[in-house]
Amino acid sequence: MGKDKKAKKFATMKRMISLKDSRLKEKDRAKTVVKKKHDPSAINVKEVTKYPSCLFFQYNTQLGPPYHVLVDTNFINFSIKAKLDVLQSMMDCLYAKCIPYITDCVMAELEKLGMKYRVALRIAKDSRFERLPCAHKGTYADDCLVQRVTQHKCYIVATVDRDLKRRIRKIPGVPIMYISNHRYNIERMPDDYGAPRF
């Protein structure tokens, strides 16, 4: 015997589960929000970031001798490898007096690195280096330096770290000191402030 052929029902709708069904989760019960269409005649309000008044075009007018240089952990390490005296090389680069600053986070990072970096730690504890206390949580030096530079535009950041350089380049008016060819160089510094051109 063959199968009974059932006639297919036409115009039948799929059965919908009601919103009160126990199989549905909370996020599925919420009704979908209909997006409003964009009105072309409406006025667009843009939020423009405010820059401090010390920035004249892209140059920072707060920078001037004596220069305040925020030193990063790896900058001291690479200076030792390149056999450069930190303070003397800074003065040779900028042709002016420089005051190197070390934050508590950088100091903590140097102490964590252990015996390999004891020479860098001894250099950082030199009396010619100024200490800056940190009030924030954690000891991540990169975040600390970026936060300090965004608050006060009077610093030059000395670093060799690529990621930190990339982050600081996004902040206008902050020069970066780095090591290349066994000497210190500086970028994003106005020419009339004594920065050498190479």
Supply the DSSP symbol for 23: T
Q: Exposed, middle or buried, 196 (CB in 10 Å: 0-12/13-18/19+)? A: middle
Q: What is the pLDDT of residue 76?
A: 94
Main-chain dihedrals φ then ψ at residue 188, nearest 5 degrees: 65, 40
Check: CATH 3.50.50.100 for 69-191? no
Q: What is the pLDDT of residue 9?
A: 67
Could you read off the pLDDT tens digit of each residue along the chain, which spans 198 residues? 566 667 666 666 677 777 777 777 777 666 667 777 777 787 777 877 777 777 766 667 778 889 999 999 999 999 999 999 999 999 999 889 999 999 999 999 999 998 999 999 999 999 999 999 998 888 789 999 999 999 888 899 999 999 999 999 998 889 999 999 899 999 887 665 545 555
Q: What is the pLDDT of residue 132?
A: 94
The answer to whether 72 touches 164, Cβ cutoff 8 Å, is: yes
Report the distance separating Cα 182 and Cα 108, nearest Å.
27
Q: What is the pLDDT of residue 198?
A: 52
For helices 86-94 and 73-81, what crossing angle results, to 10°?
90
Supply the DSSP symbol for 181: T
Strand partners, 101: 70, 130
Q: What is the pLDDT of residue 59?
A: 67
Q: What is the pLDDT of residue 190?
A: 67
pTM over 0.75: no
